[in-house]
């Protein structure tokens, strides 16, 4: 596959991943009401691990090297433990639109960590575009009255930081280990530590949860926790971490649309205006990204 075609396909896979991730907060908001933070935040990994284990065994995948294992710990900490748990806790008290706005800062976190972990150096134009998008998101948050941070806000911001690191590390590691293998091994690393807390929080009442709660939980376990990461890490490996990460600016507004459709949350004209500003800021630019080979070789 030629370089330009490879990058375009990487952007496409990144978009697929973002669309899948956009249903994560709405699904979490539904599931956490019936299953609680621990089951939704950690239990999804336990379920995903069953699917992952079958795939790894059938394909006879070899174990990661010690160096790769250390890097997988970073991916597991962000994508398997930190982000699911923090967002599950935050969604117990915040509307999806609130969480979606704060998660819009994720592309900046990802691109920032890409500089240190993957050796990518975004251009000045790249950063200007990112800042414009971020300021638009901040304006949106202030307009909705989110100026006073709650503990749930801090949890979401922490989730953004650790997932940004996980994305950058996983995207770079995908180039040598394989895209789906990165999240697969990260899940297998995390799941032994989750079985006991998940087991202690299981109750018989959960069996009577409505069908939409079960569908939401299964979606989180199979798609959000595994399949979406396969597309996302593949996209970053092929299209570049910093460049593909900018597609994430579409994610908060897709989340709001899904929240409107599935959760009956309202959407305002101001939301549409901000969405247009952010989308055109990202899509309507050509921001080259260079490579710092010295940093890349140390990764």
Going by C-alpha positions, the residue among 36, 20, 84, 54 that lies closest to residue 188 is 54
User: Residue 175 contacts by C-beta under 8 Å, 6 or more apart in sequence?
Assistant: 237
In this prediction, residue 1 carries a pLDDT of 63
**What's the angle, vertex CA 233, arms to CA 292 and CA 57, rounded to 5?**
125
Rounded-to-integer distance, Cα 33 and Cα 36, Å: 6
SS3 labels along 21-52: HCCHHHHHHHHHHHHHHHHHHHHHHHHHHHHH
Rounded-to-integer distance, Cα 241 and Cα 110, Å: 8
pLDDT along the chain (299 residues), means of 10: 80 93 94 95 95 94 93 94 93 83 79 71 74 77 64 86 89 84 94 94 94 96 93 85 78 86 82 74 52 48
């Amino acid at each position: 596959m030629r370089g330009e075609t490879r990058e375009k396909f990487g952007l496409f896979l990144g978009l697929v991943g973002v669309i899948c991730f956009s249903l994560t907060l709405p699904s979490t908001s539904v599931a956490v009401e019936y299953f609680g933070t621990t089951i939704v935040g950690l239990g999804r990994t336990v379920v995903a691990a069953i699917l992952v284990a079958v795939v790894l065994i059938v394909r006879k995948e070899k174990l990661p090297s010690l160096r790769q294992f250390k890097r997988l710990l970073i991916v597991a900490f962000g994508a398997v433990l930190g982000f699911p748990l923090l967002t599950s806790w935050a969604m117990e008290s915040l509307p999806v639109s609130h969480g979606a706005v704060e998660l819009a800062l994720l592309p900046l976190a990802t691109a920032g960590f890409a500089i240190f972990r993957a050796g990518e150096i975004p251009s000045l134009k790249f950063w200007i575009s990112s800042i414009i998008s971020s300021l638009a998101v901040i304006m949106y948050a202030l307009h909705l009255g989110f100026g006073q941070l709650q503990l749930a806000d801090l949890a979401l911001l922490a989730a953004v930081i650790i997932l940004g690191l996980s994305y950058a590390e996983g995207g770079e590691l995908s180039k040598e280990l394989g895209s789906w293998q990165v999240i697969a091994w990260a899940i297998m690393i995390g799941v032994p530590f989750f079985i006991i807390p998940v087991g202690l929080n299981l109750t018989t009442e959960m069996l009577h949860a409505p069908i939409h709660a079960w569908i939401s939980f299964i979606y989180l376990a199979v798609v959000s926790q595994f399949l979406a990461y396969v597309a996302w890490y593949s996209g970053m490996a092929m299209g570049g971490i910093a460049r593909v990460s900018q597609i994430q600016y579409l994610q908060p507004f897709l989340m709001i649309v899904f929240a409107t459709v599935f959760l009956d949350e309202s959407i305002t004209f101001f939301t549409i205006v901000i969405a247009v500003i952010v989308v055109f800021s990202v899509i309507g630019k050509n921001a080259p990204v260079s490579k710092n080979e010295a940093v890349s070789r140390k990764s």
